[in-house]
Amino acid sequence: MDRKEVLTMKMDAYVDYAVEQLKALTAIPSPSGFARQAGKYVFEELTRLGYEPKITQKGGVLVDLGGPDDSEGLLLMSHVDTLGAVVASIKENGRLKLSPLGGLQPDNTNTENCTIYTRFDGSYSGTFQLCDASVHVNDDYATQKRDFSHMELVLDEDVKEPEQVLALGILPGDVVCFDPRTVVTASGYIKSRFLDDKLSVAIVLALAKYLREEKVVPARKVYAHVTVYEEIGHGGCGTVPDGVTQLLAVDMGCVGEGLTCTERQVSICAKSSAGPSDYEMTTDLIRAAKAAGADWAVDVYPHYGSDADAALRAGWDVRHGLIGPGVYASHGYERSHVDGVKNTLLLLAEYLGVTTA
C-alpha cells in the first residue's frame, strides 16, 4: 500500500473515537451562554489525553497541541455552543413564548421536545408547538405562520396560568435546550442537531488523540480553541495566543444547492458571507487535501460566519481559513457522514505536517 492508503486506514480508529465524542457532546445541553458544562467536558477529555488545557474567562477551552515555541503559530478554532432559546415571557394560558439564541429557526423546531433549565429550581420538559396545534380543531393550521409569534412551548406540567408557571420556578431568561436526537446509521450517516459544531469539536479531540498516540509533533506551534459564543458572533474575538499568525476555523462545511460539497467530503471555504478566506492559506489547504488523498471540495458559502471572521473583526492581524466536514440541513436536523470526519482528519494531519504513514 502507498502512503495515502496507510494513512487512511490508520485514521479509522480516530474516526470511531470522534463519533463517540460527538455522542457525548450532543448529550450535553450547551446553547450560547449556557455552554460551560460542555467546555468542562472538553477540558477533562483533553486532560485525560495528556494535555494541559485552560478554561478561558468566557468558558471556552484553549490548549497547546505542541510544536516549537519559536515558530509561527496556528490556532484551530471550533465551537461547542449551539442554537437554543430562552423564555421570553409567560403567556396567559401558562405556555411560554421563546426568544432564540443564535439562528434558531422556529419552523424546523416545530414539535421538537425540549428542556427548560431554571436558575434555582431544576428542569422541566416540554414541546415547542404551533399555537392551537390540533389539526382537527385549527382551521388555519396549514397556513398559519411558523414563527416565534405563532408558536409556544407547552410544558409537561398541569399549568394553565402564569402564576402556576412561576410557582415552578420558571422565569424569563431561563434557557431552553432542544433534544439533539443523535443517530449514527449502519451506512455511516450521522444525523443530529448541533453537528454545527460539535462534530468538528469531536474531530479536534480526535486530532489531539492522534498526536499523542502516534507520538508526532507539529512542525509549527499549534493551539486549539474550543469557543462557547460562536453562534452569537463573538466566540473567536479573543484568546489568540502570542505568536499565532494563522487561524483555521474547523467548523461545518456547507452542503446545499449550488455548492459541490457532500456529507462525505471535507469542505474548504474560499469565501464566506464575511469575505474571502486568505488566498495562500486556502491554496495550501487544497494542496494538503490532495496530498493526503482526502475527498474534498472547495465552495463559496452564501450565509455563513465563523470564529475566524469574529477574530478578524476584533482586529487580530492574522491570516484565516475555514474547513469542515460536509453538513446538510444546517441549523436544522443536520446530517453528515463518517467519511466526512475521516477526510477532515486527513486534511488536518497533512496541513499540520503530522502524517505518520
SS3 assignment, position 270 = strand
| Residue 115 in grid coordinates | 428542556
DSSP state of 102: S
Judged on CB neighbours under 10 Å (0-12, 13-18, 19+), 75 is: buried
Given a contact cutoff of 8 angstroms between Cβ atoms, the answer to whether 326 and 337 are in contact is: yes
45, 152, 230, 350: the active-site residue: 230
Q: What DSSP string describes 199-262?
A: HHHHHHHHHHHHHHHTT---SS-EEEEEES-GGGT-TTSS---TTEEEEEEE-PEEESTT----
CA neighbours closer than 13 Å in the CB half-sphere of residue 120: 6
SS3 assignment, position 279 = helix
Core vs surface per residue 253-286: b (16+ CB within 10 A) or e: bbbeeebebbbbbbbbbbbbebeebbeebbebbb
Q: Is 231 a catalytic residue?
A: no
Contacts of 26 (CB under 8 A, 6+ apart): 180, 182, 192, 193, 194, 198
Residues carrying an active site annotation: 230
